[in-house]
Amino acid sequence: MNRPSNDFSGTGNFAGAPSGHRTIKNKQLKVAGFSFLAVIAACLSIAATNKYAAEDPIPLEIGAKAPDFTLPGVDGKTYSLASFSKAKILAVIFSCNHCPTAQAYEDRIINMVKEYTPKGVGFVVISPNDPKAVRLDELGYTDIGDSFEEMKLRAKNKHYNFPYLYDGRTQATSKAYGAIATPHVFIFDKERKLRYQGRVDDVEKPSRTPNNLDSRNALDALLAGKDVPVKTTKVFGCSVKWASKITDGEKYKERWAAEPVDVSMIDEPGIKELLKNNTDKLRLINVWATWCGPCVTEFPDFIEMNRMYRGRDFEFVSISADDPAAKEKVLKFLKGQQASTKNYLWSIEDKYKLIDAIDPKWQGALPYTILVEPGGKIVYGKQGAINVAEMKRKIIDNPLMGRFYK
């Protein structure tokens, strides 16, 4: 009798096995195959469950121990749970730069830190977002995104009085705590057991007075040695931008790339009508030319700003100072920039009439950029290349826009 081989034949039998054993071996193989498929199916189910859990994590239960972490801070230090060991109570807050709700609560968090730190409460704020998962159109209420470098800028500009940590690389800490939205507060006692998780308070708008100061109530109760009256609440704010959402951003880029691009001719009356801005939108106008180096270099920044703010009371308009005969060249450039905006080309060769029509204060050098409020008031004018960060702040801090819902 031949010794069975460890190789499989094309029929599914063991090669070299005696005929009397083939039926048994086939049955065993089928059972083994079924078991293998069952294991694979189970693994896929677990993977799908973990993926769902990663995108929609469940917050820590009351009484749970605070998960440890090792995260970089904007101050150059690395923080862990042990960094706050001297605090009687620890508040871990998940927040971020771009979210309008997070920005609406910034000052309240700063004031809470100022008031409760002397009482022995430790505070740490963690940004849970993967910056690559934040789409441009999700930045409509901010001048900066959620990268680590931009977190440093926000902390400096707002004079943060708490450690601001970055979890965007792995998001492991955010998943461990079960951060749902920004902001999301977790308050732990001396033993670092969770005693409260949820919102800061029940009113997002800074102009209104909250009815329930849930986070402050929890801190006051713990400091007084009492039980927290309301241990959990729902949280309202921007969803955490998990790394899995990066693919959504790629789809949006494809949509933007597919938007039609065109250019129309404009004369002096058209310019004057444009500057009247008889709309309810903040209008950003950039005068440029294909032969102007600084113009073509900064033009992508205007397209980015348009994608950030166009969902609000904002519009971007480009006016080319090229010769009218260069229309095809201008259009080719605009298409390359995916400039699905209002685009115009000065219709006559006399450039001095264009200068006078745009703004008497303009000396004529390109590029030239102005920001026009409804009714025609020019609130910003810049000859030469813009400072992109400054331009975004001018837009978002204009009364017509703002950083949070009104």
CATH number of this structure's domain 259-396: 3.40.30.10
pLDDT along the chain (406 residues), means of 10: 34 34 40 42 40 69 98 98 98 98 97 98 98 97 98 97 98 98 98 98 87 96 97 96 93 95 97 96 98 98 98 98 97 98 96 90 93 97 96 97 90
Residue 243 structure tokens: 């790394």
Contact 109, 200 (CB under 8 A): yes
pLDDT at 38: 42
Which residues lie below 8 Å from residue 266, measured CB to CB, with a gap of 6+?
Answer: 274, 319, 344, 345, 346, 347
Instruction: Kindly state the helix (H) or strand (E) to which residue 306 belongs, with its residue range.
Output: helix 293-309
Looking at the whole model, is its pTM more than 0.85? no
Rounded Cα gap, residues 107 and 94, in angstroms: 15
pLDDT at 374: 98
Domain ranges of the chain: 1-54, 70-246, 259-396
Hey, what CATH topology would domain 70-246 get? Glutaredoxin (3.40.30)
Provide the residue type at 353 as one letter.
Answer: K
pLDDT at 394: 97
pLDDT at 361: 84
Question: How many of the other CB atoms lie within 10 Å of CB of 376?
Answer: 13
pLDDT at 206: 83
Q: Identify the three-state secondary structure at position 265.
A: strand
Contact 171, 243 (CB under 8 A): yes
Query: Backbone phi, then psi, for 333, in 5-degree steps?
Result: -65, -45
Evaluate whether 70-246 and 259-396 have a shared fold.
yes
pLDDT at 210: 86
pLDDT at 55: 62
Torsion (CA) 224, 230, 234, 236 in degrees, nearest 10: -50
Which residues lie below 8 Å from residue 195, measured CB to CB, with a gap of 6+?
Answer: 62, 187, 188, 189, 218, 222, 228, 231
Rounded Cα gap, residues 284 and 376, in angstroms: 12
pLDDT at 208: 86
Rounded Cα gap, residues 90 and 84, in angstroms: 7
